[in-house]
């Protein structure tokens, strides 16, 4: 067969018998087995060769020659698989990417939290309302958001819906990014609109003008590179549900190696990164580029052990540490990790997730984040790397292209009292379109300081 005809795994995987945190409790195990067998026969969502290509892009990030922009919903939802929502998200990421490319003067590797981000780890297993206790919502791949027994019981059929929702999303993303929609000149024109029309945008006029001049100069010089017309864009999600990820893990016939073909890049979350757990073992066996979220309790020993387990060959691009310490802790906790990892000779990519360490509950009961805290964590992350002479490799953010009111602050300011107006997230609060563009322009300004 052809080179991309991945086969299903036949051996019992080494992670199968290890403790796996945060897995749903399916009442009907036979139904689960049936679904998993069906999924294992479905075609791959991504080609293993694309995962290799992303690994080489991430190698440039790790070596200080590129910057990662990774973003999207906290939790994708089945009923949000629409052309508008996918386009708005992509458009926002592309706009951020254009600003960052100019400011950083290095390629920006664009990776969506998209086409597979349907599963959520939760700190509590149950939720009680008016005396009724039901399983917590764990993402559309597991159960329903509505608070009733029928929706909240984990249903394995949802794993198939996740596959199909991911396939439909990825198909549109591929069409948009290669079919002409994402032309850099168009993306820049959207940024000019933002600068003109948004109250916060005016602060960025200078930067937008410089980008304009650069594009005009290229045009005058008669250049029209193919790179302006299409965009390399990758998918990523948290590899949480091991039944699903295992079913989508295949032997690549080109290399004989295992790849999880549910997405290009996978990450292991803060709640499932136990060294003796199934998630880390799983990640160590697949060739995809892997991220690990590092919270404020991460020890130097843990970080070094992740490197030994996941990147024994010290291959730049293989491993990304996604740091989510919180704005008040990053300056304190991050330096020793970066220092010791660097001293150990590992070339990992360092990326900041300035969202998950800065969540709090507003008086209204909404889970939210302050834009200023998000920005401050990014600043702290940059400061630490500057101090150590290492590379701040990128940002990992929860965002949407829509005008939601989930995080407070930003140039077009959202107040605590506004939160109820358009609070649409199924899980954590996301930056809205304007806050996301603010963040990109402000990170761009950090490059100038």
Residue 213 Cβ, how far from ligand PEP at the closest point, in Å?
Answer: 38
Restricting to residues 68-127, name those near Mn ion by CB under 5 A.
74
State the burial class of residue 157 (Cβ atoms within 10 Å of its Cβ: 0-12, 13-18, 19+): exposed
Exactly one of 324, 369, 385, 391 binds ligand PEP (CB under 6 A); which one? Answer: 324
Find which of ligand PEP, Mn ion, none residue 270 binds, CB within 5 to 8 Å per kind: ligand PEP
Tokens of 332: 């304190």
Nearer to Mn ion, 245 or 428 (CB): 428
**Count of residues that bind Mn ion according to CB under 5 A:** 2
Q: Is residue 356 close enough to count as binding ligand PEP by CB under 6 A?
A: yes
How far from 322 is each of 231, 267, 296, CA to CA, in Å?
24, 9, 12
Nearer to ligand PEP, 204 or 282 (CB): 282
Q: What is the bridge-based pairing of β-strands 249-251 and 7-8?
A: antiparallel
Q: Is residue 430 close enough to count as binding ligand PEP by CB under 6 A?
A: no
**Distance in Å from the first CA to the final CA of the chain:** 54
Helix (H, G, I), strand (E, B) or coil at 38: helix
Q: Which stretch binds ligand PEP (CB under 6 A): 164-172, 180-188, 206-214, 265-273?
A: 265-273
The residues, ordered by sequence, that sit 6+ positions from 246 with a Cβ below 8 Å of its Cβ are: 9, 13, 15, 16, 36, 282
Restricting to residues 17-76, name those near ligand PEP by CB under 6 A.
74
State the burial class of residue 161 (Cβ atoms within 10 Å of its Cβ: 0-12, 13-18, 19+): middle
Tell which residue, 433, 422, 335, has the closest CA to residue 382.
Answer: 335
**Count of residues that bind ligand PEP according to CB under 6 A:** 10
Q: Is residue 270 close enough to count as binding ligand PEP by CB under 6 A?
A: yes
Tell me, what DSSP letter sits at residue 137? P
Q: Which stretch binds ligand PEP (CB under 6 A): 36-44, 266-274, 400-408, 418-426?
A: 266-274
Exactly one of 32, 428, 433, 438 binds Mn ion (CB under 5 A); which one? Answer: 428
Residue 113 Cβ, how far from ligand PEP at the closest point, in Å?
Answer: 7
Residues in the annotated binding site for Mn(2+):
74, 356, 398, 428
Find which of ligand PEP, Mn ion, none residue 406 binds, CB within 5 to 8 Å per kind: none
Find which of ligand PEP, Mn ion, none residue 324 binds, CB within 5 to 8 Å per kind: ligand PEP
State the burial class of residue 313 (Cβ atoms within 10 Å of its Cβ: 0-12, 13-18, 19+): exposed
Q: Is residue 270 close enough to count as binding Mn ion by CB under 5 A?
A: no
For 19-82, where are the alpha helices, taking DSSP H only? 29-41, 48-62
Find which of Mn ion, ligand PEP, none residue 333 binds, CB within 5 to 8 Å per kind: none
d(CA 159, CA 164): 9
Nearer to ligand PEP, 268 or 440 (CB): 268
d(CA 449, CA 357): 25
Q: Is residue 293 close enough to count as binding ligand PEP by CB under 6 A?
A: yes
Residues at the site binding Mn ion, with contacts judged by CB under 5 A: 74, 428
Residues at the site binding ligand PEP, with contacts judged by CB under 6 A: 74, 121, 238, 269-271, 293, 324, 356, 428
């Amino acid at each position: 067969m052809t080179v991309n005809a991945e086969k299903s795994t036949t051996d019992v995987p080494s992670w199968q018998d290890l403790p796996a945190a945060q897995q749903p409790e399916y009442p009907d195990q036979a139904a689960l087995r049936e679904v998993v067998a069906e999924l294992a026969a479905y075609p791959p969502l991504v080609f293993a060769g694309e995962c290799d290509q992303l690994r080489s892009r991430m190698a440039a990030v790790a070596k200080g020659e590129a910057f990662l922009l990774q973003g999207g919903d906290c939790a994708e939802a089945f009923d949000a698989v629409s052309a508008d929502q996918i386009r708005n998200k992509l458009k926002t990421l592309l706009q951020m990417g254009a600003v960052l490319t100019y400011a950083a003067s290095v390629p920006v590797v664009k990776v969506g939290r998209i086409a597979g981000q349907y599963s959520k780890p939760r700190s509590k297993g149950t939720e009680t309302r008016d005396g009724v206790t039901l399983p917590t919502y764990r993402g559309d791949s597991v159960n329903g958001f509505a608070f009733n027994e029928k929706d909240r019981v984990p249903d394995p059929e949802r794993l198939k819906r996740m596959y199909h929702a991911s396939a439909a999303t990825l198909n549109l993303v591929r069409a948009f990014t290669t079919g002409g929609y994402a032309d850099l000149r168009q993306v820049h024109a959207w940024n000019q609109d933002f600068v003109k029309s948004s109250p916060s945008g005016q602060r960025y006029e200078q930067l937008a003008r410089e980008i304009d001049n650069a594009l005009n100069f290229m045009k005058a010089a008669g250049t029209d590179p193919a790179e302006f017309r299409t965009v390399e864009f990758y998918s990523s999600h948290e590899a949480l549900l091991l039944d699903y990820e295992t079913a989508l893990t295949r032997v690549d016939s080109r290399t004989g190696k295992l790849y999880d073909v549910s997405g290009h890049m996978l990450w292991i979350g803060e709640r499932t990164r136990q060294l003796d757990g199934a998630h880390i073992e799983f990640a160590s066996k697949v060739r995809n580029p892997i991220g690990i979220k590092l919270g404020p309790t991460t020890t130097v020993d843990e970080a070094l052990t992740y490197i030994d387990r996941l990147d024994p060959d010290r291959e730049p691009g293989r491993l990304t540490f996604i740091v989510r310490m919180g704005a008040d802790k990053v300056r304190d906790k991050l330096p020793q990790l970066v220092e010791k990892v660097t001293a150990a000779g590992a070339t990992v990519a360092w990326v900041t997730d300035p969202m998950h360490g800065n969540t709090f509950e507003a008086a209204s009961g909404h889970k939210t984040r302050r834009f200023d805290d998000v920005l401050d964590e990014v600043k702290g992350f940059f400061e630490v790397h500057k101090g150590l002479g290492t590379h701040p490799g990128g940002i990992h953010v929860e965002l949407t292209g829509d005008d939601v009111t989930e995080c407070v602050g930003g140039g077009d300011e959202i107040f605590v009292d506004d939160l109820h107006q358009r609070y649409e997230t199924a899980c954590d609060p996301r930056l809205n379109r304007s806050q996301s563009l603010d963040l990109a322009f402000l990170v761009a300004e950090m490059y100038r300081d």
